[in-house]
Chain A
């Protein structure tokens, strides 16, 4: 079912752009499918931190969905580098590692929101609306 983002007028009606970063092909497949259930969002993918930095620089997406546990350059350090280059970057952290210390580490690195896996459409919608409306409420959602 296609859903609209309520009360949001972003990009003057142009499609929103999203970069999905996860080393897991399944996670990218799943997130892409969830994103495609929203109206007017285009996705791009990266499978590791270095690729994510390069894709972010190239695409300047409206928001990023970022995993933490990845081989090589892991998610928190990747967010730190992206946000150092672009402090306005809207990064939503998505990870099965959701303990307090890890969430705080991700938010301190520049992530704007944190979702614990497994991700539902509702979780994702809420997170995207939150970061797109620039509401700087950095509290993560309740643990599942």
Chain B
């Protein structure tokens, strides 16, 4: 696990959330868990490729996703609309994009896939043989968990 990159992902996400959805953001305890990762109602998944490989999954409950999207859109949303899904994808993409930019500027080539958002009950992500670092981020709209797996190819 590239813990230095994990720290960059968490820091970038915290800063981005503060910029976009307000100041009430903090990272509480970080834990390492074996796969599979149990998610909540909404998962935004971004793949990482390059000199390191892995993925970041943001998971949150439906209420939090709808509230976050409403904050980003500047208007409340009635539920899980396509625009809400897109807002969550964009939030994840901006956070990880900023982190990847920092990592690249520090000399490691890393790129990201466009985000995928999945919704449903009790979602589970299966990643064989990869430990996942879980960082819960508390926002004014509820908790967003970052599930991060990244390791060097060699």
Which residues on A are within 8 Å of B, measured CB to CB? 23-27, 29-30, 33, 69-71, 95-102, 116-118, 143-144
Given A24-B86, A118-B20, residue A69 in contact with residue B97 (CB < 8 A)? yes
Which range holds the interface residue count of chain B?
20 to 34
**Residue contact A29 to B102, C-beta cutoff 8 Å:** no
A71 vs B113: C-alpha distance when bound (angstroms): 8
**Residue contact B86 to A97, C-beta cutoff 8 Å:** no
Residues of chain B within 8 A (CB-CB) of A96 are 93-98, 101
Residues of chain A within 8 A (CB-CB) of B105 are 99-100
Check B57 for interface membership: any CB of A closer than 8 A: no
10 pairs, CB–CB < 8 Å, chain A vs chain B? A24-B90, A26-B73, A26-B86, A26-B90, A33-B74, A69-B97, A71-B114, A96-B97, A117-B97, A118-B20
Which residues on B are within 8 Å of A, measured CB to CB? 16, 19-20, 69, 72-74, 82-83, 86-87, 89-90, 93-98, 100-102, 104-105, 111-114
A98 vs B97: C-alpha distance when bound (angstroms): 8
**Residue contact A101 to B82, C-beta cutoff 8 Å:** no
A60 vs B111: C-alpha distance when bound (angstroms): 32
Residues of chain B within 8 A (CB-CB) of A33 are 74
A102 vs B113: C-alpha distance when bound (angstroms): 15
A3 vs B86: C-alpha distance when bound (angstroms): 28
